[in-house]
């Protein structure tokens, strides 16, 4: 009987949030008197709701966020007929790499000058803040003295 009463009290506290106590009345009737009190005191303290952690703010990248140069990896010259030159971009970010979104992919478009048939436009991909993916470019120069140059023309976040 005591276990059943204890289970009933626990169930009442869990479902109502009130602790019900029973005491014997001193009056003429033999009915027990009951009182209800809240199980959690109201101290007037209001707790602030936790705000979610804000997403980190990453900077906008533009053509002025980088410098670019060309690294010559192969050169085959044919006398006065010019040269076939293989070049790769050497990209430098001018800020703190921590300000680049690690989850974003940036397409960096650049234009190579010096090919005898006109400018060559290529695009490199910057991922994971520091990983640069590109395809080496093969250009044909008009003479052995022609030095290719490069300029960034566009930066887009994908």
pLDDT tens across the length of the chain (158 residues): 545 554 454 544 444 444 444 444 455 555 555 555 555 555 666 666 677 877 778 889 999 999 999 999 999 999 889 999 999 999 999 999 889 999 999 999 999 999 999 999 999 999 999 999 999 999 999 999 999 999 999 999 99
**What are the sequence ranges of the domains in the chain?**
2-38, 63-157
Note the pLDDT of residue 51.
Answer: 77
Residue 134 CB-half CA count within 13 A: 24
Note the pLDDT of residue 53.
Answer: 78
Note the pLDDT of residue 55.
Answer: 75
**Token digits of residue 67:** 């410098």
122 and 148 in contact (C-beta within 8 Å)? Answer: no
**Token digits of residue 128:** 């994971």
How far apart (Å, rounded) are the C-alpha atoms in residues 64 and 154? 10
Note the pLDDT of residue 52.
Answer: 80
Note the pLDDT of residue 111.
Answer: 99
């Amino acid at each position: 009987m005591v276990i059943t009463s204890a289970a009933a009290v626990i169930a009442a506290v869990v479902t109502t949030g009130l602790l019900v106590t029973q005491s014997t009345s001193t009056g003429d009737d033999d009915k027990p008197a009951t009182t209800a009190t809240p199980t959690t005191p109201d101290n007037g303290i209001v707790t602030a709701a936790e705000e979610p952690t804000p997403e980190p703010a990453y900077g906008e990248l533009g053509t002025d966020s980088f410098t670019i140069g060309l690294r010559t990896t192969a050169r085959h010259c044919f006398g006065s007929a010019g040269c076939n030159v293989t070049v790769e971009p050497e990209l430098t970010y001018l800020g703190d790499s921590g300000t680049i979104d690690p989850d974003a992919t940036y397409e960096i478009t650049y234009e190579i000058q010096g090919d005898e048939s006109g400018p060559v436009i290529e695009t490199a991909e910057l991922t994971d803040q520091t990983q640069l993916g590109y395809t080496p470019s093969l250009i044909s120069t008009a003479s052995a003295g022609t030095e290719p140059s490069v300029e960034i023309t566009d930066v887009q976040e994908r």
